[in-house]
Amino acid sequence: MGTIEENLQEVRKEIPAHVTLVAVSKTKPNDAILEAYEFGERIFGENRVQELADKWEALPKDIEWHMIGHLQSNKVKYIAPFVSLIHAVDKDKLLYEIDKEAKKNNRVIRVLLQFHIADEDTKFGLSLDEAEELLESERFRELKNIEVAGVMGMATFTEDENQVRKEFQTLKSIFDKLKSAYFSSTASFKDISMGMSGDYRIAIEEGSTMVRIGSSIFGTRN
């Protein structure tokens, strides 16, 4: 592995202009984030509420912070004042809570709906049926302080490239279905967050618009 700068440069070479890079800085110290920041990176992803809030406090205010991990409803309030995108909305109840806290903070919070595409029961996410039920509900239509910006998913952790590719294709087709059924005139529903260090090249080939890359930039985590 090179320095953070060298790694970032390598990763950026692989990412086309229409794909957003989220630099996943979880467990990494602030000086590592600042190194990436100095090299132009402004979008960072974290998966723990406390760590995210601490880093937001300590680091430059023009950073866009993405919450990429599983989020409990009772912790939304700690990130609602500043979070720029919540990737992993996997329950209607969580969405209502985000709306409520966004309203208190006088803002609109962008979210992605997380889908279960992997062949592992440990990963969180909605099924297509659950998402349709949510999006068709009266209550959903009344939410004014969230903006559903797209979908997110994680592929199975496997060497089987075909399986990973198929799972990404599933997420792309879910995105297309939701787009045409519910968001055809909503320009802001546009993102497919899929792809991590091990599989982002496949994800991009299968239509990803947002990749979440940690270890290929910052090195392995403990």
Q: In angstroms, what is the minimal distance from the CB of 124 to ligand PLP?
A: 10
Counting contacts by CB under 6 A, is residue 68 touching ligand PLP?
A: yes
Q: What is the DSSP string of 6-34?
A: HHHHHHHHHS-TTSEEEEE-TT--HHHHH
Q: Which of 125, 150, 153, 214 binds ligand PLP (CB under 6 A)?
A: 214
DSSP code of 125?
-
Counting contacts by CB under 6 A, is residue 219 touching ligand PLP?
A: no
Which uninterrupted H or E stretch holds 39?
A: none
Counting contacts by CB under 6 A, is residue 215 touching ligand PLP?
A: yes
Q: What x/- string results for residues 126 through 165 when contact with ligand PLP is judged by CB under 6 A?
A: ----------------------------x-----------
Burial label for 41, CB within 10 Å (0-12, 13-18, 19+), is buried
Helices (H) and strands (E) in the chain, counts: 10, 8
Counting contacts by CB under 6 A, is residue 25 touching ligand PLP?
A: no
| Residue-level length of the chain | 222
Considering the complex, state which of residue 143 and residue 208 has its C-beta at the smaller distance from ligand PLP: 208
User: Which residue lies nearest ligand PLP, judged by its C-beta?
Assistant: 214
Q: Of 65, 118, 64, give the one whose Cα is nearest residue 90.
A: 118
Counting contacts by CB under 6 A, is residue 198 touching ligand PLP?
A: yes
Residues in touch with ligand PLP (CB under 6 A):
24, 26, 47, 68-69, 154, 196-198, 212-216
